[in-house]
Amino acid sequence: MATVLGIVAEYNPFHNGHAYQLRQAKQQSQADVTVVVMSGNWMQRGEPALIDKWQRTRLALLGGVDLVIELPFQFAVQPAHLFAQGAIQLLSALGCTTLAFGAEHPDLDFETLVANQPTNASSHFKQFDETYPTLFNDYLQAQTGMNLRASNDILGFSYVAANRQLERPLEILPIQRRGSSHQETQLDSEATVASGAAIRYAVQSGDWPSVARMVPAETLAALQKNQQVTWSDYWPYLRYQLLSTSLADLHEVYQMSEGIEYRLKQAALTSTNFDEFLRAAKTKRFTYARLQRLCVYILLQVNRVELPTEVRYAHVLGFDRLGQRYLNQVKKRSKLPLISRVTDDWINGPYRLDYQAGLMRQMLTKVDQDRLQHAVIV
């Protein structure tokens, strides 16, 4: 039986740490083919991708991935457990047998942590004046003695939890993460591996010599050639939505809760840029990631009933020759529709939110994101 390696990624952008993880995962799993489920134009923490999904797909394929599938928007911009749920469902439907992920502490007993998570956690923590992740991690540490506070460890926990729900779970392969912590924005002057956040900060600061040390040559060229997009570019559109939408309608936005719409509207009224707005809107109960995800839902006008919980399709972003052969095998046995070209039927149907997410970027960059695009082939 073939070993099909599955990886969940954002590759924002593809850097030396990703290349290391990919090499290690392929070597340790002895993979016959590598499939990556990758976020599209919006990231899990509610940030726009620095360069678009087609450019990032090409870099992933050049870096050694065989097949890239888009993680649908309904899962891509979500808290870790829902992000993981969609990604693992998709990897399973694509026939993956092994799941590799980077972790700060790969020796953690993820299965024990999952077995000790609270039931109905959302209501369990509702009365406390702290963020949900802090309370959740405090609970797990009290139950198991294990600390689950590092970003990639938390994602790993979510992957293992989602994997346990599968009829045929994948084999788990945690890989030791190298470099600075996930949200560290400072670059070590000697290091060749850094967090995505630090690399994005260096790109936006124009520190190209530092970026060149941290990313493959193809990534450096793509970053220098293509327009980067940040929340600053979307701020005027977001501010307009917040100021022109009634509080009653804002309340109906997906994941809007606890009256935060009042605070968001007031912050939009008094702020002159996105960073200032986030600081003004921040509360103890809402993490910056949660606020940013809300901003994405507001920007795209996503309401409470628009995000299904099941995977409904697999959008093919790109492949190499090995990936193409594997894709032909998947087509023969998978019940999941495989989209290689986005048609009007898909845009007006299940793919609508993904199309809207791409269209918003297209307005800024003038680069088509779906209608005229074909899978990247290397």
Instruction: Copy the structure tokens of residue 189.
Output: 């002057």
- Long-range contacts at 115-119 (CB < 8 A, ≥ 24 apart): 116/140, 116/143, 116/144, 117/161
Nearest Cα to 193, choosing from 14, 9, 16?
A: 16
Which residue positions form the known binding site?
Answer: 8-21, 102, 152, 177
Buried b (16+ CB within 10 A) or exposed e, 240-258: ebbeebeeeebeebbbbee
User: Which residues are part of a known binding site for ATP?
Assistant: 8-21, 102, 152, 177
- The residues, ordered by sequence, that sit 6+ positions from 371 with a Cβ below 8 Å of its Cβ are 342, 347
CA distance 269 to 280: 10
Q: How far apart are alpha carbons 360 and 232 in whole angstroms?
A: 14
Q: Identify the CA nearest to 196 among candidates 23, 7, 10, 60.
A: 10
CA 226 to each of CA 80, 209, 367: distance values in angstroms, whole numbers, following the listed order: 29, 17, 10
Expressed in angstroms, the distance from the first to the final Cα of the chain is 26
d(CA 316, CA 286): 34
Is residue 316 classed as helix, strand or coil in its secondary structure?
strand
- Cβ-in-10-Å burial (0-12, 13-18, 19+) of 1 comes to exposed
SS3 at position 118:
coil
Structure tokens at 315: 């959008």
Looking only at the bridges linking them, the beta strands covering 67-71 and 314-319 are antiparallel
Give the SS3 label for residue 304.
coil
